[in-house]
Amino acid sequence: MQASVLFVCLGNICRSPMAEAVMRHLLKEASLDAQVTVDSAGTGDWHLGHPPHEGTRQELDAHGISYEGMRARLFRAEDAAEFSYIVCMDSKNEADVKELIGAASSPQTKVFKFMDLLPERGTPDVPDPYYTGNFDYVYELVKEGCERLVERIRSDLQ
Ligand code: 4NP
């Protein structure tokens, strides 16, 4: 069986590309990379074609995680039919994704918030480091959440 994950944030340069790179890295470590594909997208169009933000790149470099070839792209309604998990980095991203998907939603598509993976944290959203500057904290959440997601997918695939 195959699965596919799409992380969605606003600009697709800070949070969702960080999650994409970390998730791909963890899937490789778990030998699930042949079964699970990963991508990311944004709901805003300011940075289309740009590589991840410098803060995200520094964080990934510090942890030896590749982001080679990654470029910002726009979320589109058709993604709903293509991806099995659509993971939104905050509540506004989730509302926007659900509105954009509308009737294109398919029963196989699971749309949820990244922080739903970490209920014990008691915080609904991954704070946007584009505004907070705190890329370290985002990396901590992203790593923890992606570890959880790998386990969820592993169990869903069985
Ligand atoms: P992201 O952060 O959604 O985590 O990629 C942002 C990046 C760019 C902008 C906003 C948020 N912007 O307004 O350009």
CATH number, domain at 71? 3.40.50.2300
Tell whether the model's pLDDT for residue 40 goes beyond 80: yes
| Residues 44, 45, 46, 52, CA torsion sign | positive
CA angle (80, 40, 121) in 5-degree steps: 95
Domain that holds residue 91: 3-157
Q: Percent of the chain scored above 70 by pLDDT? A: 96
Q: The whole model's pTM is what?
A: 0.97
For residue 42, the ligand 1 atom closest to its alpha carbon is 3
Element (H, E) at 133: none
Cα gap 114→30, rounded to integer Å: 20
Tell me how many domains the chain contains.
1
Least confident of 67-71, 109-113, 120-124, 130-134: 109-113
Q: What is the pLDDT of residue 102?
A: 86
In the predicted structure, residue 62 carries a pLDDT above the cut 70: yes
Residue/partner pairs of 22-25 with CB below 8 Å, 24 or more apart: 22/60, 22/65, 22/139, 22/142, 22/143, 22/146, 23/146, 23/149, 23/150, 24/66, 25/65, 25/66
Distance 93 CA to ligand 1 centre (A): 11
| pLDDT category of residue 1 using cuts at 50, 70 and 90 | confident
The predicted-structure confidence for 94-104, as pLDDT tens digits, reads as follows 999 999 998 76
Ligand 1 midpoint to CA 11 (Å): 4
In the predicted model, what is the mean pLDDT of the chain? 96
* DSSP 8-state symbol, 82: H
Which residue is it, tokens 């963890």? 26
From 79, 139, 86, select the one nearest 114 (Cα to Cα).
86
Q: Which DSSP symbol is given to 34? A: T
Residue from 13, 18, 43, 138 whose mutation best tests the ligand 1 pocket (most atoms within 8 A of CB): 13
